[in-house]
A and B are shown apart, each in its own frame.
Chain A
Amino acid sequence: MALDQAQPSRSWPRGALWRRLRWIVVPIVVVPLTAVLFTGFGRDPSVIPSPLIGKPMPSFSLTALDGHTVSSAELAGKPLIVNFWASWCAPCVQEHPVLLDTARRYGERVAIVGILYNDTAEGAAGFLARYGDGGWPDLLDPSGGTAVSFGVTGPPETFFVDASGVVRGKQFGPVTADVVTAQLAALGVKATP
């Protein structure tokens, strides 16, 4: 292809035509490459849609930091936020105030449960002492079995479950106030003004 261009342009065969059309080479090369590379935009290779959406929440029965046992069955009956987190996780620090605020704004109409991901009771207690304890149960998952059944790839991940126990939404990475408001509105709850 371009090897032909190594010929001198002065003695170029059909020189006039080539000279007139040569600028077409630029868009011919640039446009397809740009289009192809542009296709990839807006795609995050780490996002795999959760297969849990529309399915009942996996059941669990775990020990909370305060020693009580909490099971998924007890949490049914109202919209539920399941938040996987860890004290060593920087984005969890970022989203923690949003969760505290959510607990305050929605009060008794929404249940929140935290499930610790690859973390110890001491680490979690230190985190809550430092950044504030919202009063919802935080459950230890020492074997990681509950995280596996939810398909968690890394904290923070947050699941939004409706009153009948069906998973309706999932957030990868830290939740923001907007995400929480939108997800809970989809479950039919509005914040106290």
Chain B
Amino acid sequence: MLPTLGHAAIVVGLATSVFAVVAFVVGGRRADATLLAAARRGIYLTFGLALAASLVMVTSLLTHDFSVLYVANNNATTTPPFFSVISLWAALEGSILFWTLLLTGYASLVIYRYRDRHRQLMPWTGATLAAIATFFFAVMTWPGNPFIRTTPVATEGPGPNALLQNNPFMGLHPPLLYLGYTGMAVPFAFGIAALVTRRTNEEWLAIVRRWTIVPWIFLSLGITAGAWWSYEVLGWGGYWAWDPVENAALLPWLTATAFIHASMVAERRGALKVWSSALVLATFVLTLVGTFLTRSGVVASVHSFTQSAIGPWFLAAIVISLGGGLSLLIWRLPDLHDRDRPAATVSRESAFLFNNVLFLGLTFAVLFGTLLPLIVELFGGGTISVGAPWFDRVNVPIFLALVFLMGVGPALPWGGTSWKTAQERFGIPILAGVAAVVLVLALGMRAPAPIATIGLAVFVAVVMGDEVVRGTRVRGRARHEGPPTALWRLATRNRRRYGGYLAHAGVLVMAIAISISATLGTDATATLTPGQTMQVAGYTLTYRDFANEALPDNASVIEHRAEIAYAGPQTGTLTTALRDYPSSTTPIATPAVRTSLGEDLYVTLIAYDPTAKSATLHVFVNPGVMWIWLGGGILGLGAAFAIWPDRRRLPAEVAEELTAPAPSAPAEA
């Protein structure tokens, strides 16, 4: 009964979203307020229906209703409630449903927020969002129906994907990523609307900047959380493997980041308009490509679900949105001429331009590496794979150049500057960077990547610090404010600039931490019997005992556990395990990670012999990893600060603005 209602909600959702597309287009052309209001209600209804279908699915999972095939394949009577709920995104059909829920949620927010503004743009924005919703409802009606029933009804299922089940983090990483992915539909819809209505002035850019940064924050946090999950769960001691699906999340992040920078030039100087539109288009198409890669089984990856009939549908959606968007862009080229040209070679505009060229370079490099196996196969070259070393070699230099620009760009004035000013601004920071390099060399560091990163990061940090200190001092003197007050007021009155600085500071922290952890870690493997010890980078590990036990909250999962005492920079005991899940044929590693500000002690059990009670341990000492997660948090905080609505200026809009999703807020707001 209940699953039938869920399916009905999806079918009605399909009809409603088709209605909304037609009503927005017709209503917009005739300027028919009644029809447009009906179209808006249609969008809200699609959200209600997607919510109802999702609740039905969650209820089916919680009640272990194995008559629903999705539940039979992804749940067991022993599955704890928390993991039953998050099984909504454990497999293909459920994640499409969850995706639709988030997409219609975003669409409803946007449509409600601008219900009586931007009268020319909104009908086409609404129509585009409704068309995307139509696609997802259609996928759920035909090839990816989440409510397919099965007979005979099983009494027990295999439980969720073991990797999903093994760590509560799976409750966080996919929703963040999906919030990022689906939100990119909003700037795309505004971009299409601007092109269709030929309102390609700064209006749509001003709206879209915020609506890009919100999903961008989610995407950034989602990627960071994914890296964290990979580190805490997969047990190989690392956090980023250039897996096709990781790349699929990184690609739209790269183009969205490029857009956030390009749109500032477009908005302030009226330049780079075609470019900004192209980036918005690319970002949305790349989210579809990412989904296609993840969900169609086209590339081999830990994330791949099995092959499904959804692939051709997504390919069609990619072709339609890319072909259609690009055609529209080319058609409207005459409207997109720049107001004025980038002035001087050494100006903020040209720094932004280089920034975008580099981001484009990264995007192409990652896309090329991800698709190369398919390209080679297309030309009959057999099966190949592109490994992490290739990605590292290509992307690290580009990334270092971006770090350099991060220091140069914001310190340069719009329009251009003289070499003399440039020397004044950058002289001391360059010396500081060189001094930092000399210092780390003197301390004995020899790996080139962290040395270069630290030198550049110090340069950028000094440039930013100089700007902040100078601004604070000027304001403090002029208004007789103490430094903390002056800094806070300065920052909250220039949110974009200071939020940007904070986000950049987060990137610096991440960059240094990544370069150090990737090159300066140590690891060792040893097979021990109880009582034996091993030494790794200042730690002494004593293997105490071995145990086999069912998990207390899920009796179908057997844990094979090594108990270890460790002493060194950190001291204590830990257990590291391999778990046997009924749904998985390979045991799932459960590494133990002891985190400190300086380094992580990371112990993973590779193999065991229950009769001899011996255990083979792989021990990593990874320096600086915690700072990667902290840097990701600072990055998100900075971006949130930049777009946080200003209470003082627009009191009437604040209440509405607060309903827009924003994950983290500075203490004052």
Of residues 347 through 394 on chain B, the ones whose CB sits less than 8 Å from some CB of chain A are: 353, 356-357, 371, 374-375, 377-378
Q: Is the CB of A34 within 8 A of B273?
A: no
Contact with A along B463-490 (1 / 0, CB 8 A): 0000000000000000000000000000
With both chains docked as a complex, state the minimum distance between the C-beta of B370 and any C-beta of chain A, in angstroms.
10
A36 interface neighbour in B154, B156, B274, B374, Cβ under 8 Å: B374
Q: Is the CB of A130 within 8 A of B272?
A: no
With contacts A2-B278, A33-B322, A88-B158 taken as known, whether A40 is within 8 angstroms of B330 at the C-beta atoms is no
Residue of A nearest to B582 (CB): A88
With contacts A9-B337, A25-B330, A30-B319 taken as known, whether A45 is within 8 angstroms of B72 at the C-beta atoms is no
B338 interface neighbour in A2, A7, A44, A126, Cβ under 8 Å: A7
Q: Is the CB of B158 within 8 A of A2?
A: no
Contact with B along A41-52 (1 / 0, CB 8 A): 101111000000
With contacts A6-B274, A8-B338, A45-B304 taken as known, whether A39 is within 8 angstroms of B378 at the C-beta atoms is yes
B48: chain A residues at CB < 8 Å are: none
A68 within 8 A of B: no
- What is the interface of chain A mostly: helix, strand, loop, or mixed? helix
Q: Is the CB of A5 within 8 A of B322?
A: no
With contacts A43-B297, A44-B297, A86-B582 taken as known, whether A26 is within 8 angstroms of B155 at the C-beta atoms is no
A40 interface neighbour in B69, B299, B584, Cβ under 8 Å: B299
Residue of B nearest to A29 (CB): B326
Q: How large is the interface on B (under 10, 10 to 19, 20 to 34, 35 or more residues)?
A: 35 or more
Give A174 to B585 CA distance when docked, in angstroms. 17
With contacts A3-B356, A10-B337, A90-B73 taken as known, whether A30 is within 8 angstroms of B585 at the C-beta atoms is no
A59 within 8 A of B: no
Give A123 to B155 CA distance when docked, in angstroms. 11
Give A89 to B74 CA distance when docked, in angstroms. 10
Residue of B nearest to A94 (CB): B150
Give A46 to B582 CA distance when docked, in angstroms. 18
Of residues 80 through 95 on chain A, the ones whose CB sits less than 8 Å from some CB of chain B are: 86-91, 93-94
A176: chain B residues at CB < 8 Å are: none
A130: chain B residues at CB < 8 Å are: 155
B289 within 8 A of A: yes
B264: chain A residues at CB < 8 Å are: none
B327 within 8 A of A: yes
With contacts A6-B271, A23-B327 taken as known, whether A37 is within 8 angstroms of B298 at the C-beta atoms is yes
Q: Is the CB of A44 within 8 A of B306?
A: yes
B415: chain A residues at CB < 8 Å are: none
Residue of B nearest to A132 (CB): B152
Of residues 135 through 170 on chain B, the ones whose CB sits less than 8 Å from some CB of chain A are: 150, 152, 154-158
User: Total number of A-B contacts with CB less than 8 angstroms?
Assistant: 132
B315 within 8 A of A: yes
Give A42 to B153 CA distance when docked, in angstroms. 30
A34 interface neighbour in B318, B580, B584, Cβ under 8 Å: B318
A153: chain B residues at CB < 8 Å are: 585
Q: Is the CB of B275 within 8 A of A45?
A: no
A118 within 8 A of B: yes
With contacts A30-B322, A37-B298, A90-B154 taken as known, whether A5 is within 8 angstroms of B275 at the C-beta atoms is yes
With contacts A33-B322, A41-B311, A86-B582 taken as known, whether A3 is within 8 angstroms of B357 at the C-beta atoms is yes
Q: Is the CB of B356 within 8 A of A22?
A: no
With contacts A22-B330, A34-B319, A89-B158 taken as known, whether A43 is within 8 angstroms of B582 at the C-beta atoms is no
Residue of B nearest to A5 (CB): B274
Q: Is the CB of B297 within 8 A of A45?
A: yes
Residue of B nearest to A118 (CB): B582
A26: chain B residues at CB < 8 Å are: 323, 326-327, 330
Give A89 to B76 CA distance when docked, in angstroms. 10
Of residues 156 through 176 on chain A, the ones whose CB sits less than 8 Å from some CB of chain B are: none
Q: Kindly name the residue among B299, B301, B326 whose own CB sees the greatest number of chain A CB atoms within 10 A.
A: B326
With both chains docked as a complex, state the minimum distance between the C-beta of B94 and any C-beta of chain A, in angstroms.
15
B337 interface neighbour in A8, A86, A87, Cβ under 8 Å: A8
Give A8 to B271 CA distance when docked, in angstroms. 10
B4: chain A residues at CB < 8 Å are: none
B334 within 8 A of A: yes
B333 within 8 A of A: yes
B275 interface neighbour in A6, A9, A35, A90, Cβ under 8 Å: A6
Give A6 to B340 CA distance when docked, in angstroms. 11
B15: chain A residues at CB < 8 Å are: none
A131: chain B residues at CB < 8 Å are: 152
Residue of A nearest to B379 (CB): A39
Give A146 to B374 CA distance when docked, in angstroms. 36
Q: Is the CB of A40 within 8 A of B158?
A: no
Residue of A nearest to B306 (CB): A46
Give A86 to B156 CA distance when docked, in angstroms. 10
Give A108 to B90 CA distance when docked, in angstroms. 43
A33: chain B residues at CB < 8 Å are: 289, 318, 322
B45 within 8 A of A: no
Give A33 to B298 CA distance when docked, in angstroms. 13
A154: chain B residues at CB < 8 Å are: 583-585
Q: Is the CB of A88 within 8 A of B322?
A: no
Give A87 to B275 CA distance when docked, in angstroms. 57
B80 within 8 A of A: no
B345 within 8 A of A: no
B292 within 8 A of A: yes
Q: Is the CB of A45 within 8 A of B300?
A: yes
B312 within 8 A of A: yes
Q: Kindly name the residue among A23, A46, A87, A88 whose own CB sees the greatest number of chain B CB atoms within 10 A.
A: A88
Residue of A nearest to B326 (CB): A26
The list of the 10 closest CB pairs from A to B, nearest first, reads: A40-B298, A8-B337, A90-B72, A45-B300, A44-B307, A5-B274, A93-B154, A39-B378, A88-B156, A30-B323
Task: Please name 11 further chain A to chain B contacts, defined as beta carbons within 8 Å, in addition to the given A6-B274, A9-B337, A34-B318, sorted by A numbering.
Answer: A2-B275, A2-B278, A3-B353, A9-B336, A26-B327, A37-B371, A40-B297, A40-B299, A41-B298, A90-B158, A118-B580
A-B CB contact pairs (8 Å), 6 listed: A25-B330, A26-B330, A44-B306, A45-B297, A88-B157, A118-B580
Residue numbers of A with Cβ under 8 A of B are: 2-3, 5-11, 22-23, 25-26, 29-30, 33-41, 43-46, 86-91, 93-94, 118, 123, 126, 130-131, 147, 152-154
